[in-house]
């Protein structure tokens, strides 16, 4: 098949990238790619589904990726372990629109599916320049099913819970509505909860956008990161914090202090796992650049002065 | 011991910006240990969650000298560093009047199992090193495999729950007791009681010889509880006497219990919030709770007998 100058182009190939939160949702990310790939295989397509090894071992809340490739022709790029130019991007959790470059590498006419109860406008306000994005799909998958928190199926363990018992099924249904990448019947035959899948299909809200026709770039890959690494050597201590591992985008909920109620007892400070709390005269302040939103500060606070607020309620 | 108000003025030598789970106990342990040290200690680590997440090349979250080693030899390397400090002091290359503190921090996999012979050697030779084991009761980094520290009946990815077996078949190894048999300063601690733990770290660092502190570190990922409950689960571990706070001095002769709960909670209080024990509460599995409780009671009573004998 000739495709002009690019010998390596695979015009029949569609890349699907799923973003999720480590541990608490990685099973659902894996289920989406496996379900879509298996459904496509039933239609005689060539398929692949796998998890991003760079993101492993996954940690609680860390952004993780799972990938699928579905093609009308044999997949020749099968030994490239990351989707560098996805066609469809799925966010298992809504906060990923903030601070995580989820749209990077998206091809022209790209589709973004977000599990959220918020409006498409609100989601778009966090995405900024949407570049090649043409279709935004919002669906409240979490209201239709619950995430399956299990390591079953991960890291070589046997999968005892089946595929698509949690929020994966309605999200996969929403993908089908916007893209028709597989038939609903074939997907229903694969997932464990076809009812939730159908509801996801029905409830999905599809918004067509004006594509801005951004230049094609490549999602940052392990190969690129490797080139930036020095070969070996000693590592200097951080001056203030570790700039090489900014973790603020792990956070789904933000700690907020009620100054009136705070007694400045410093209990939150001694238990914060991310050294994010600093004492000031006005009480503790939170370093949101690194806060992962674990909620320990709220839990240990003896005066109930700390509450957790969904991160997307804040524009900053 | 300084108050929290005073401590919070000190620089924390372990910074934000590490890849440990939200709600991970390990950085809480590290922060408390470093705050208790009179000055920046030399940190030695075997492979573990904490190592792999806090020192991702070419960055680090540690504001201390830091050595990463293989699983097997962290305690051996720490012994070597201590010997080197001595030799350099003798040759006048290091200030002989200055104390150099060496802390080795490992998980239970690298301490109870893989690194055990190196640890035993270090304790026996009496190197002036503090070894802290943050005990989360399984190989969490590699995907929750059972270790010598995994409690009886707990689910892990290598101690399945099914028809043939209900989680881990054996009771956990009591490493603090084994360490005490070496004649080192030994303590059991828990991260919810920072005051007790920090006092023990301070004491260990000023101890003329080896010391070993085992600290309870509840792992949300492997134990299956919500990320914000880390401190509370640790508290329940101690209130049920599953993880008692004690220390051993005088070459294993003097056993002191540092905290005796006024009202010892039934073990179900500790087991119930943890997903790894969910099968304990299923039909026909009550025997697991009884067996677990009986072992907790056996060990707690034994500990009390030893403490009583030491006091006489």
Q: Mark which residues 26-45 of B lie under 8 Å from A by CB.
A: 26-28, 31-32
Residue B143 has pLDDT above 90, yes or no: no
Token digits of residue A166: 């949690």
What is the percent of chain B with per-residue pLDDT over 70, rounded to a whole number? 100
How far is A238 from chain B, CA to nearest CA, in Å? 6
Angstrom distance (rounded) from CA A201 to CA A171: 8
Query: Is residue A119 included in any domain, yes or no?
Result: yes
pLDDT band at residue A52, thresholds of 50, 70 and 90? confident
pLDDT band at residue A148, thresholds of 50, 70 and 90? confident
CATH of the domain at A28: 3.40.920.10
Which residue in A270, A276, A311 has the most chain B C-beta atoms within 10 A of its own C-beta, making it the best mutation to test that interface? A270
Residue B119 has pLDDT above 70, yes or no: yes
Q: Which of A175, A208, A241 is the last residue of a domain?
A: A208
pLDDT band at residue A151, thresholds of 50, 70 and 90? low
Give the residue from chain A lying closest to B161, CA to CA. A160
Total domains in chain A come to: 2
Residues A133 and A55 occupy one common structural domain? yes
Range of the domain at A48: 4-208
Residues A169 and A24 occupy one common structural domain? yes
Residues A191 and A295 occupy one common structural domain? no
What's the predicted TM-score (pTM) here? Answer: 0.94
Whether B60 and A237 lie within 8 Å, measured CB to CB: yes
Residues A31 and A163 occupy one common structural domain? yes
* pLDDT at residue B94 in the model: 96
Q: Which residues of A touch B18 (CB under 8 A)?
A: 242, 245, 247, 274
CATH of the domain at A273: 3.30.70.20
Q: Which residues of B touch A251 (CB under 8 A)?
A: 22
* pLDDT at residue B134 in the model: 98
Chains A and B form CB pairs within 8 A to the count of: 164
Q: Which residues of A touch B25 (CB under 8 A)?
A: 273
Query: Is residue A152 included in any domain, yes or no?
Result: yes
Query: Is residue A217 included in any domain, yes or no?
Result: no
Residues A175 and A235 occupy one common structural domain? no
* pLDDT at residue A1 in the model: 44
Residue A4 has pLDDT above 80, yes or no: no
Residue B227 has pLDDT above 90, yes or no: yes
* pLDDT at residue A224 in the model: 77
Q: Which of A146, A174, A208 is the last residue of a domain?
A: A208
Residues A203 and A235 occupy one common structural domain? no
Whether A299 and B229 lie within 8 Å, measured CB to CB: yes
Q: Mark which residues 106-145 of B lie under 8 Å from A by CB.
A: 141-144
Query: Is residue A220 included in any domain, yes or no?
Result: no
Residue A157 has pLDDT above 70, yes or no: no
Whether A60 and B194 lie within 8 Å, measured CB to CB: no
* pLDDT at residue A2 in the model: 47
Residues A147 and A288 occupy one common structural domain? no
B21-143+173-265 carries CATH number 3.40.50.970: yes
Mean of pLDDT values over B258-262:
98
Residue A3 has pLDDT above 60, yes or no: no
Q: Which of A208, A240, A262 is the last residue of a domain?
A: A208
Angstrom distance (rounded) from CA B282 to CA B289: 11
How far is B298 from chain A, CA to nearest CA, in Å? 31
Query: Is residue A134 included in any domain, yes or no?
Result: yes
Residues A271 and A305 occupy one common structural domain? yes
* pLDDT at residue A153 in the model: 56
Residues A167 and A281 occupy one common structural domain? no
Whether A279 and B8 lie within 8 Å, measured CB to CB: yes
The residue ranges of DSSP E strands in chain A, in sequence order, are 13-21, 46-51, 63-71, 88-91, 110-115, 133-139, 205-208, 253-257, 277-280, 283-286, 306-310
Angstrom distance (rounded) from CA B268 to CA B239: 11
How far is B311 from chain A, CA to nearest CA, in Å? 33
Question: Which own/partner pairs from B78-85 qualify as long-range (CB within 8 Å, at least 24 positions apart)?
Answer: B78/B44, B78/B102, B78/B104, B78/B122, B78/B127, B78/B129, B78/B131, B79/B118, B79/B121, B79/B122, B79/B125, B79/B127, B79/B129, B81/B42, B81/B44, B81/B129, B82/B127, B82/B128, B82/B129, B83/B127
* pLDDT at residue A228 in the model: 81
């Amino acid at each position: 098949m000739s495709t002009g100058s690019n010998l390596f182009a695979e015009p029949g190939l569609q890349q699907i990238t799923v973003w999720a939160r480590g541990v608490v949702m990685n099973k659902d990310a894996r289920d989406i790619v496996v379900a879509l790939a298996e459904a496509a295989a039933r239609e005689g397509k060539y398929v692949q589904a796998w998890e991003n090894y760079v993101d492993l071992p996954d940690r609680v809340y860390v952004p993780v990726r799972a990938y699928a490739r579905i093609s009308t022709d044999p997949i020749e790029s099968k030994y490239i372990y990351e989707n560098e130019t996805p066609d469809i991007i799925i966010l298992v959790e809504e906060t990923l629109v903030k601070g995580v470059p989820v749209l990077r590498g998206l091809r022209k006419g790209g589709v973004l599916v977000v599990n959220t109860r918020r409006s498409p406008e609100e989601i778009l306000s966090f995405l900024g320049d949407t570049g090649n994005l043409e279709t935004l799909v919002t669906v409240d998958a979490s209201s239709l099913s619950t995430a399956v928190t299990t390591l079953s199926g991960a890291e070589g363990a046997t999968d005892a819970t089946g595929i698509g018992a949690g929020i994966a099924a309605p999200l996969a249904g929403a993908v089908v509505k916007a893209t028709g990448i597989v038939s609903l019947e074939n997907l229903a035959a694969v997932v464990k909860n076809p009812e939730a899948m159908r509801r996801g299909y029905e409830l999905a809200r599809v918004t067509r956008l004006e594509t801005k026709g951004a230049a094609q770039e490549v999602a940052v890959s392990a190969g690129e990161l490797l080139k930036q690494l020095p070969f070996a050597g000693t590592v200097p201590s951080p001056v203030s914090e570790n700039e090489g591992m900014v973790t603020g985008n792990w956070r789904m909920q933000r700690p907020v202090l009620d100054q009136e109620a705070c007694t400045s007892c410093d209990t939150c400070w001694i238990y914060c796992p991310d050294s994010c709390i600093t004492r000031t005269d006005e009480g503790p302040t939170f370093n949101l650049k690194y806060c992962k939103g674990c909620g320990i500060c709220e839990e240990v606070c003896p005066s109930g002065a700390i509450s957790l607020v969904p991160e997307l309620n804040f524009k900053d | 011991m300084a108050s929290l108000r005073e401590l919070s003025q000190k620089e924390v030598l372990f910074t934000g910006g590490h890849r440990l789970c939200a709600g991970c106990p390990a950085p809480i342990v590290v922060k408390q240990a470093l705050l208790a040290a009179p000055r920046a200690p030399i940190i030695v680590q075997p492979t573990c969650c904490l190592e792999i997440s806090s020192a991702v090349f070419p960055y680090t979250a540690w504001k201390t000298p830091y050595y990463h080693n293989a699983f097997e030899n962290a305690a051996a390397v720490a012994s070597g560093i201590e010997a080197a400090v001595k030799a350099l002091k003798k040759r006048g290359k290091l200030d002989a009047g200055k104390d150099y503190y060496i802390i080795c921090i490992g998980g239970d996999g690298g301490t109870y199992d893989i690194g055990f012979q190196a640890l035993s050697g270090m304790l026996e030779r009496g190197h002036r090193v503090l070894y802290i084991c943050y005990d989360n009761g399984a190989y969490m980094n590699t995907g929750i495999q059972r270790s010598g520290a995994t409690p009886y009946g707990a689910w892990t990815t290598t101690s399945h729950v099914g028809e043939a077996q209900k989680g881990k078949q054996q009771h956990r190894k009591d490493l603090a007791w084994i360490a005490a048999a070496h004649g080192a300063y030994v303590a059991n601690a828990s991260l919810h009681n920072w005051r007790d733990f920090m006092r023990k770290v301070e004491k260990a660092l000023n101890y003329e010889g080896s010391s070993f502190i085992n600290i309870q570190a509840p792992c949300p990922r492997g134990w299956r509880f919500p990320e914000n409950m880390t401190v509370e689960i640790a508290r329940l571990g101690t209130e049920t006497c599953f993880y008692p706070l004690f220390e051993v001095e005088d070459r294993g002769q003097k056993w002191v219990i540092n905290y005796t709960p006024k009202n010892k909670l039934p073990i179900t209080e500790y087991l119930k919030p943890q997903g790894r024990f969910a099968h304990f509460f299923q039909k026909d599995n009550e025997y697991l709770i009884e067996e677990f409780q009986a072992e907790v009671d056996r060990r707690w009573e034994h500990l009390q007998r030893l403490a009583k004998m030491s006091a006489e």
